[in-house]
Amino acid sequence: MNIAFTEEQEMLRTSARDFVEKECPARLVRQIEESEGGYSPELWRKMADLGWMGLVIPEEYGGVGGSFLDLLLLIEEMGRGCLPGPFLSTLVLGALPIMAAGTAEQKEEFLPKIAQGEMILALALTEPSARWDAASIAVGAVSEKEQYIINGTKLFIEYAHIADYLLCVARTKDAPTGRGEDGLSLFLVDARSPGLKCTPFKTIGSVPQCEVVFDNVVVPAKNMLGERDRGWPVVKDMLERGAIAKCAESIGGARQVVEMTVAYAKERVAYGRTIASFQTVQHMCVSMLSYADTARNITYEAAWRLSEGLPCAKQVASAKAWASEAYERITKMGAHLHGAIGFTRDHDLGLYYRRAKAATLAFGDPDHQREVVAREIGL
């Protein structure tokens, strides 16, 4: 057993931290928040030039063949700096499932472009039911000769409006009662397809989401990812990796809030002394630290299990529930300890406070995760 990251991983972290601090200051984060696209093509290009888009993509497709843990380190650092953009969506929800379930032809077509930073992907999974389970998927795909025709509405789809391709989860067969996992298939849908209508809206976490309406959208059969009707295991794996990536982003943000708050407490003076000298303030900071450290432990332990292919449904769900609630509590305590200044639009604290709530909701909120854990412990 060994809890340490490798030297290479530590170097990756350091360079990522430097990059985010230098290239993505809070000023830019705010600017991007106000923009239509919700990301910066220039920043995306710089990240691609560093090789980040190709980090987990195999060498034969123009990447460097790094590990899922490497990817998490990057995402953690992005979370620390609130770096906006479709990185998680393109890499974790796009590249990884294509690597896992794609045909040689699909890999050839998509992976090199992703690695070069020339392709953005979005996962079109959730629908107006706002659920993450298989049974709730109603968007349907009907086969017709060498193609499929997709109809229905996806909702809460992050970055769909700037994506080149959408990975759409659709029903290709009516599911028998109680077995919603049956009959789901995945499609790589060209975002410029006729009949596809994407309407973005803003969210508390500043990641633009979209309503995506499929109106007789035609997809060539060769763009089906994985087996017909048996797409759910691919989605499940994607959701677990997405949840863990969201945990990594959260702990990056959480640690930053702890550091900001501790530093502020040491300089803010009240009653003639720094507020850091009050035990109440100290103990709140300790609780924040404890949440951040425990969330980080459980996240990387679950991530390790996931990347080793070991059974980990309970660990992943535990990590997501704990890290989400930890991040929320940390930002709430952080906001409180900053006093009224932390409540203003101008202060960075709000960037994290809002993202913590959005992170909690992504890939299954804590109640969803608790239900997963309940089943895993035999209830």
Partner 1 sequence: MDFRFTPEQEAAREEYDAFFDEVMKEAPENWLGTLEDVYSTKEGNDFHRRVARMLGEKGWLTMVWPKEYGGQEATRVAQLIFLESMGEHGAPGYDTQGVGMLAPTLIRHASEEIKREFLPPIARGEVTVCQAWSEPNAGSDLAALTTRAVEDGDDFVLNGQKTWTSGAHFADFMYVIARTNPEELRHRGLSYFVLNMKETPGLTIRPVLSMDGHHLWDEVFFDDARIPKRNLVGEKNRGWYVVLSGMEHERSSLGGWVIECNQHLKKLVQFCQETNRGSEPLAKKPLVRHRLAQMAIEIEVGRSLQYRLAMLADQGALPMHEASAAKLYASELYTRFSETVMEILGLYGAVTHGSKWAPFLGTFEFLYQMAPGWELAAGSTEVQKNVIAQWGLEFPRPY
Nearer to partner 1, 64 or 278 (CB): 278
- Minimum CB separation of residue 132 from partner 1 in Å reads 16
Tokens of 155: 């909702």
Nearer to partner 1, 130 or 374 (CB): 374
Tokens of 293: 């450290």
Q: How far apart are CA 311 and CA 318, in angstroms?
A: 13
Please list, in sequence order, all residues whose beta carbon lies within 8 angstroms of the beta carbon of residue 192, skipping any fewer than 6 positions away: none
DSSP state of 5: P
Nearer to partner 1, 191 or 319 (CB): 319
Run of H or E residues at 284: helix 279-307
Q: How far apart are CA 332 and CA 291, in angstroms?
A: 12
Q: What angle do CA 371, 205, 119 make, to 5 degrees?
A: 95
- Minimum CB separation of residue 291 from partner 1 in Å reads 10
- Minimum CB separation of residue 340 from partner 1 in Å reads 22
Q: What SS3 class is residue 109? A: helix
Nearer to partner 1, 2 or 177 (CB): 2
Q: How far apart are CA 84 and CA 202, in angstroms?
A: 13
Distance in angstroms between the alpha carbons of the first and the last residue of the chain:
31
- Minimum CB separation of residue 153 from partner 1 in Å reads 29
- Minimum CB separation of residue 362 from partner 1 in Å reads 18
Q: How far is CA 181 from the centre of its chain?
A: 23
Backbone torsions φ then ψ of 191, nearest 5 degrees? -65, -15
Tokens of 283: 């103990």
- Minimum CB separation of residue 243 from partner 1 in Å reads 13
Nearer to partner 1, 107 or 329 (CB): 329
- Minimum CB separation of residue 92 from partner 1 in Å reads 18
CB contact at 8 A, 87 and 19: no
- Minimum CB separation of residue 379 from partner 1 in Å reads 5
CB contact at 8 A, 223 and 191: no
Nearer to partner 1, 27 or 273 (CB): 273
Q: 141 - beta bridge partners?
A: 150
DSSP state of 161: G
Nearer to partner 1, 147 or 297 (CB): 297
Nearer to partner 1, 40 or 324 (CB): 324
Tokens of 334: 């952080």
Return residues touching partner 1 (CB under 8 A).
1-6, 9, 69, 262, 265-266, 273-274, 276-279, 282-283, 285-287, 289-290, 293-294, 297-298, 300-301, 304-305, 308, 314-315, 317-318, 321-322, 367, 369-374, 376-379
